[in-house]
Amino acid sequence: MDRFRIEGPNRLAGTVRASGAKNAALPALAASLLTDEPLELVGLPRVRDIMTMRKLLDHLGVDSEQEGDSLRLVATDRASTDDAPYELVKTMRASILVLGPLVARLGHARVSLPGGCAIGVRPIDQHLACLEALGAEVELEHGYVTARAERLVGASFRFSTPTVTGTENMLMAAVLAHGTTVLENCAREPEVVDLARLLTGMGAKIDGAGNESIVIEGVESLAGTRHTVIPDRIEGGTYLIGAAITGGDILLEGADAADLAPLLEKLAENGCEIEELAAGIQLRRQGELKPRDTVTAPHPGFPTDLQAQYMALMTQAEGGSTICETIFENRFQHVSELTRMGADIQVEGSYARIHGPSRLSSASVMATDLRASACLVLAGLVAHGETQVDRIYHLDRGYERMELKLQSLGARVERLE
């Protein structure tokens, strides 16, 4: 099992490029099920979740071939199955994104329920309620959801809570439905907007993506297209926080400052100097690191996927701060590991109270989920001595060769097999 060995403290300086967004790439891959024409996706990140989704799509009959920086996908009828099996789905919850496209195009689907994960129960009730509103018959049996519909029919549906993959799944269901669909209380994340851009490029008629309500005019069929996924704002934000926590100075190339606004505003309040350049985002932090309270919220609020990384930063701030996690019920697993490194953090329900600055000492720590592992790597960069972060496979799900990118910024980090 791979682990990182990090020598600290040292500062990050130099230029790093954001990879394509994992959470835009996953729905884009699922969209290949919506057409029998070739779909070309450019700039997909080389991370494990993408390989997992390609394996699932292959099982469903989608051939995919990497041609340089572009992945070419063609859905065929070679597979005699509409079934997304548990052994594939259990390794990645985002597999649920094949449900909407399968029902939209084939009229039936059988997808294993994703089950919970380290950060929470993460139900999919809204995906299923919306699919029923579009006329599908949905049943839950033996840990699988089966859905069938002669043809989905446009309808109005209001999500009880903004759900990113729920909005994406239902966008892909509605684009081939008969008639008009109005989705309310939608997720507004940039990855939802990117999927709508891809579907529109395939011939879908979508209005309002990025707002709370989206109107979709169903069409008879969709064509192939060539689409470049947006840069990964969470990966990029992680490196920006790395520069802030180490008192460094980096240029994050290829990042979209508008998508990172919630983080950039916060880091500016913390005392970072930020410049939005044509080439990307320049961030340096030389002076005092000021504490600031944060509450996670659906976009355009502060992203829950940067909460753990930001908490590592707050352990170095001059004073007290609180972080309130409003999206997931169990996303403070990194606290115990940070505390072992010497951080001063108390958790009360959905609040974490951090008192800084703490002199973090190196330790052997263990990652529990994708973003918690990123948090521990950032802590290792400022801790005194050699920190080992175990179970790096969590990181590999969503960060493309993180050790190489950190080394290019001057970090003393190595991957141990």
Residues assigned a catalytic role: 117
In the bound state with ligand EPZ, the residue whose beta carbon lies nearer, of 15 and 161, is 161
Q: Is 387 helix (H, G, I), strand (E, B) or coil?
A: strand
**Closest residue by Cα to residue 403 from 82, 3, 93, 1:** 3
Residues 249, 273 contacting (CB under 8 angstroms)? no
Dihedral sign, Cα of residue 393, residue 395, residue 396, residue 397? positive
Q: Which residue has the tokens 């029902």?
A: 103
In the bound state with ligand EPZ, the residue whose beta carbon lies nearer, of 124 and 363, is 124
Question: What DSSP letter does each residue of 340-351 carry, written as one string?
Answer: HTT-EEEEETTE
Residues 208, 274 contacting (CB under 8 angstroms)? no
Q: How far is the CB of 92 from ligand EPZ (least distance, A)?
A: 8
In the bound state with ligand EPZ, the residue whose beta carbon lies nearer, of 391 and 412, is 391
CB-facing half-sphere around the CA of 153: CA atoms within 13 A: 7
Q: How far is the CB of 134 from ligand EPZ (least distance, A)?
A: 15
In the bound state with ligand EPZ, the residue whose beta carbon lies nearer, of 11 and 188, is 188
Q: How far is the CB of 305 from ligand EPZ (least distance, A)?
A: 5
Q: How far is the CB of 342 from ligand EPZ (least distance, A)?
A: 26
DSSP 17: E
Structure tokens at 234: 């969470």
Q: How far is the CB of 365 from ligand EPZ (least distance, A)?
A: 18
The radius of gyration of the chain's CA atoms, rounded to the nearest angstrom, is 21
Q: Please provide residue 74's backbone torsions phi and psi, each rounded to the nearest 5 degrees.
A: -135, 120
Q: Please provide residue 245's backbone torsions phi and psi, each rounded to the nearest 5 degrees.
A: -75, -25
Q: Is 357 helix (H, G, I), strand (E, B) or coil?
A: coil
Q: Where are the alpha helices (DSSP H) in 164-255?
A: 164-174, 190-201, 233-245
Task: Give kind and range of the element (H or E) at residue 381.
Answer: helix 370-382
In the bound state with ligand EPZ, the residue whose beta carbon lies nearer, of 84 and 187, is 187
Q: Which residue has the tokens 């579009």?
A: 134
In the bound state with ligand EPZ, the residue whose beta carbon lies nearer, of 8 and 162, is 162
- The Cα 170–Cα 148 span in angstroms is 14
Q: How far is the CB of 373 from ligand EPZ (least distance, A)?
A: 10
Site of interaction with ligand EPZ (CB under 6 A): 23, 26, 94, 120, 122-127, 161, 163-166, 187, 304-305, 327-328, 370-371, 398
